[in-house]
Amino acid sequence: MSNDIGGTLPTQDLTGFMQLAKKNVSPRVLVKDLETRKREENEVAQLKKAAKDFEAVFLFQMLKQMRNTVHKEEMFHGGMGEDVFTGMMDEEMSKRMAGRGAAGIADMLFRQLSRQYGIGDAENAEGSGKKMPLDVTQSAGALMRQLQGVNASINATRAASLSPEF
Categorize the per-residue pLDDT at 20 as very low, low, confident or very high, splitting at 50, 70 and 90.
Answer: low
Helix (H, G, I), strand (E, B) or coil at 2: strand
User: What was the pLDDT predicted at 6?
Assistant: 47
The reported pTM is 0.53
Task: Identify whether the C-beta of residue 125 lies closer than 8 Å to the C-beta of residue 114.
Answer: yes
* Cα distance between residue 8 and residue 6, in whole Å: 7
